[in-house]
Each structure stands twice: as C-alpha cells, then as structure tokens.
Structure 1
Amino acid sequence: MDQQDFAVLDNCLWHALRDTQHDFSLGQAPAFRFRPEILPFIGFDHRVSAPLAGLQPFMAPGEQVFVVGDLPDTLSGWTVLRELDGAQMVCPQLLPGEVRHLAELQLLNENDWEEMHALVQAVQPGYYRQRTPLLGLYWGIKVDGKLAAMAGERFRLPGFTEVSAVCTYPAHTGKGYAQQLTTAVCRHIYAQGAIPFLHVLKTNTRAIALYERLGFYKRRDIPFYQVSAPL
C-alpha cells in the first residue's frame, strides 16, 4: 500500500461516516455526524467550502462535538471552542518481538458497558459515549473482577480501522496492559484485512513511545477541534 492509499486518513471521519459506519450516522452529504449516543464527532467533505450548513438540523442548539483534521473554509455559524494538537499514527505491521502475556484478555460485551464508560471517562473524558462499543470489538483486563484496562476499535473506513480507548486506571499503569491490549486489537484488525491507525495527543509522549515500540509510526500531525453548533 503506497502513500496515496493512506490519503483517506486525512479525512477519516468523512470516509467512515459516508461508508463503513454510515448506519451510525445522521445527516446527508456533504456532512454527517455520529448519532449522539454513539460518538461526539462529525465528518464532512473537505472539497466543499461550507459543508456544515446542512448539518444543523441534526444537532441540538449549541451542541459540542469534535472535528478531526481540517476545518471547513466557512463555519456557517459554528464556533471553535478549542484546538488540540494530535498525531495520527499507522501500523502496517507489528514489529517482531515478544509481548508478554501478563493477564487474561476478555472480549467485553454489553454487560461491561457501564464499567467501560466509567474507565474512559476517568482517563480520557469527552470522546466516548455509552453506546460507543457498538462500533467495534473491545478487549479488557479485569483485576479482582473489576475492569482495570481496555482497548478497542472506533473509526472504521475501507482498508483501515482505528485503535481507540486504550485506557488503564492509574492504579494499574506500568504493568504492560496497554501494550498487551493494543497488540490484541491490532492482530484482530489485520485478521479483518485492514491496517490499524490511531490518534494520540502530541503531549502524551509515554503513549507515543509505547506505540512506536509496537510498530506504529507517525503519519502526520493532525488537530482535533472541539466545536459547537449554532444556537
């Protein structure tokens, strides 16, 4: 796969919402949103100068959501609340090396949703909703019957699946759980014929170092914008 094939990742949300994950979307071209109980993200066609005007009927007044990548030329009454500096990383293949089997991985299900939501909100609040697990498979590690760490799949577009919600409660960090879980998610993605990618804040140097040890490399810097719909 050459760099031209990776170009769809520049606008991964648009390609996910109009294609592979369209069943989870609201809106119409040139802009879609994930249903609010699924994710607080929107995607739009970068080739259109004012794509957000038609999305307003599918938003609550002042509702806050995220854009990944470029903003449109015309915001059509939307407000940019903050910008987060992120990096987009891809992993065409895992680097050779043994990943220690430190704990038993469990494929999480609907009975775990409440614990999953609590963990992500404690570690990475704002990007995950109660029904986000409908988007893909999630694995977890439990300690004394309680969820200690997890990781899974979020954005999916033709040829690529995003690794997301790589979270560990602070009491359990440093045990290698994130490495073990991320590896498991990547192997599942490869088995489906796709390439793993992920997004990480540039300030999260510890996570970036972990992903690089596994075989991820930074494809590009990519901003996250939190925006609010018109009132």
Structure 2
Amino acid sequence: MSLRVVRADVNQPSPRPGDTAATDPALDLVLDNPAWASLTGAHAHLGEGNDLARRFRSDVSPFSAVRDWSDPDVWAAILDLVGYDADFLAAPHEDVPVPAGWAHGNTLHGVQLVETAQVAARPDEEAVVLGAADVPEMIDLVERAQPGPFLTRTHELGRYVGLRRDGRLVAMAGERLRPGGWVELSAVATDERYRGQGLASRLALDVVHHARERGERTFLHATADNTTAIRLYEHLGFALRRGVTFGSVRTPAAP
C-alpha cells in the first residue's frame, strides 16, 4: 500500500482565518481532535458534557472526546459525565497513564485521510437524500456491510445519501464529524450483491462535492487493516495525514 502523505510546506503562506481552501491539512490542528471540535462546535446540540469531556447522545453516536488528556482534571470530568463502572469511548495517548482503578479498553489502529485536489468530486444524479423515514433501511444496510456504528439519530449529524435498486437501498454514504472547516465522510456501505459497480465511489464523490459547495473539505477514518477501503480512497484522491488509535477507558467501580 503506497499512500501519499500530506506534508506541510514551510514556504506556504499562513492561511487567513476561515480560509479553509488555504489550510494545509498537515498543519490544521483541528483534525488532531476532530470529535472534540465537532462536539463543541457544529454538533454541540447533539452532545452532552462539560468543559473537559463530552460525548454524543446515546442515540446519535457512541463517540466521546476530551479537550486535553494532559489536564489533570480530565478524569474527574469523565467520571462526572459517565459515572462509575462505565465506558468512555475515547482513549489517551500511550504516554498518558490512567489513574488507579481505571482501565484501558480494546484499542484499534487506524488512519486518517484527507481530500486533495485530485479528488474529482461531482454530484450523483441518481443519489437520493436520506432522512428519518429511511433509518430502518440505513441501519439494516450498515449491520450487513459493517462500515461502523450507525444509530437511530446518526443521520442528524449531516447529509446522508443513498442509491436504490428496485426501491431497495443498496448503497449509502454520509457525513459524521464536523470540525471547523471539515466534514468526515462516513457510513460508506454497499449491499454485498451490488459491490464492484462503483456505487461507493459515486456516493463518496457526491459527499465531497456538496461539502465543497459549503466551503468545507472532507476527511475520513479507516482501520489500518482495511487495505481495500484505503486503496479505494487513495484511488479517489485522498491522502494519508496521520495514524490514529481508537480506544476507550473504563471508569472505576463505585467506591
């Protein structure tokens, strides 16, 4: 696998505030903590928490985030948010020790990719916008294709589109996290019987197109071992920005 890595150009002029087109993804620190930026920005109304720890509402998304793992008060903030003997779906860096009584959950290595100018974004005339009435079909497709978690209100995170065959939803894609100036491509799923027809690519390019229309750029996450998906996104023009680790911590049992 030969992903093109986005690198900072030290000779590039500093972007103006709000000028996302001029922002170098390698320097855009909002992408280092996109869940927190989303939960304190565009998706604040879909989350709950405090100044140090936040999470999405349970019917929207399982993801959580903290402002800064190095803040010594972050552990009390998490405990205040989720309570004792509970999982918090975010994990500190390996060099940040968890307090006594806390435990690391399973970890999963992944990658973060960002769009480049090579992405030939375009609207798909056959794509239909999906909403609340389509949730049962969307959940059914996600359960079969397994692109990642999708709940009853996940569609409220952004714009979701799909393709139908004989009235049945066979492919979908949409928007998840919304850190400032960026939107996360997510829930890219295709019915097994319709794979190999380029449906996922068409919908991904549609998502990128409409994000650009709003002045936003697109990024995404994939597990590091999902080489098929990573190759697809590289072929579309996405580039590796950094590696990421998905994980969780469990709060102590009640005293």
- Provide TM-score, normalisation by structure 2: 0.81
Q: Which of 159, 162, 167 in structure 1 is aligned with 2:181?
A: 159
Decide whether aligned partners of structure 1 residues 200 and 69 sit closer, same or farther in structure 2, where only a CA change above 3 A counts. farther
Q: Work out whether residues 68 and 222 of structure 1, in 8 Å CA contact, stay in contact via their aligned partners in 2.
A: no
Q: Is it true that 1:2 corresponds to 2:27 in the alignment?
A: no
Q: Which of 43, 66, 72 in structure 2 is aligned with 1:21?
A: 43
CA drift of 1:140 comes to 0.5
Decide whether aligned partners of structure 1 residues 69 and 151 sit closer, same or farther in structure 2, where only a CA change above 3 A counts. farther
Decide whether aligned partners of structure 1 residues 126 and 61 sit closer, same or farther in structure 2, where only a CA change above 3 A counts. farther
Q: Which residue of 1 aligns with 2:56?
A: 34
Q: Which residue of 1 aligns with 2:110?
A: 86
Q: Which residue of 2 aligns with 1:55?
A: 78
The code of the aligned residue for 1:152 comes to G
Q: Which residue of 1 aligns with 2:6?
A: none
Q: Which residue of 1 aligns with 2:93?
A: 70
In the alignment, structure 2 segments of 5+ residues that lack a partner are 1-22
CA drift of 1:201 comes to 0.9
- Write out the 4+ residue segments of structure 1 that deviate beyond 3 Å after TM superposition: 60-65, 68-72, 74-78, 94-97, 226-231
Q: Work out whether residues 123 and 206 of structure 2, in 8 Å CA contact, stay in contact via their aligned partners in 1.
A: no
Q: Work out whether residues 106 and 247 of structure 2, in 8 Å CA contact, stay in contact via their aligned partners in 1.
A: yes
| Stretch of structure 1 that moved more, 39-48 or 68-77 | 68-77
- Provide TM-score, normalisation by structure 1: 0.89
**Cα RMSD between the aligned structures?**
2.4
Sequence identity, in percent? 34
Q: Which residue of 2 aligns with 1:95?
A: 119
Q: Which of 140, 143, 150 in structure 1 is aligned with 2:172?
A: 150
In the alignment, structure 1 segments of 5+ residues that lack a partner are none
Q: Is it true that 1:218 corresponds to 2:240 in the alignment?
A: yes
Structure whose CA Rg is larger: 2
Q: Which residue of 2 aligns with 1:107?
A: 129
| Stretch of structure 1 that moved more, 213-222 or 60-69 | 60-69
| Stretch of structure 1 that moved more, 122-131 or 28-37 | 122-131
Q: Which residue of 1 aligns with 2:3?
A: none
Give the strand-richer structure, 1 or 2: 1
